[in-house]
Structure 1
Amino acid sequence: MNLKVNGRQVDVSSDIKTVADLLIHLGLETKIVVVERNQDILQKEDHQDTSVFEGDQIEIVTFVGGG
């Protein structure tokens, strides 16, 4: 399946069915992230129930602490 993630075309396995699956695939499941799917910002509790489809545009923002 082909997705656009943070502006880049990414080919992922058809086993990835949800945003949560995608975050696991990208190694971001333990990070604090904000996810936008097709210009809709998702709540964290919706990641498991939000499906991803061929051609979806996903933006993922991670937070980095420091000082």
Structure 2
Amino acid sequence: MKINGKDFVLNKSTTVSEYLEKNGYVQAHIVVELNEKILPKDMYERTYLKDEDCLEILTFMGGG
């Protein structure tokens, strides 16, 4: 699969939420695009990544 434009091999069944947590992403500060569609935050825990997926993680910092 591709994550942020780089090839990545999944070694086990992983949800979007698990991947984000393992890699130190703060869910409040990101937007996830899966296969060119924005993935709602409430879907992170039940969406499993597949070898053919393309995942983009956009990080932003909230401002006042």
TM-score interval w.r.t. the shorter chain? 0.7 to 0.9
Residue aligning to 1:39: 36
Q: In 1, Cα distance between the equivalents of 2:61 and 2:22?
A: 20
Instruction: Describe the SS at the equivalent of 1:47.
Output: helix
**TM-score, normalised relative to structure 2:** 0.79
Query: Which runs of no fewer than 5 residues in structure 1 stay unpaired?
Result: none
Q: Displacement of 1:45 after TM fit?
A: 1.0
Q: Percent of aligned positions with the same letter in both sequences? A: 35
Who is 1:14 aligned against? 12
Q: Which has the higher helix share?
A: 2
Which blocks of at least 5 consecutive residues in structure 2 are unaligned? none
TM-score (norm 1): 0.76
CA–CA distance in structure 2, aligned partners of residues 39 and 56 of structure 1? 10
More strand by share: 1
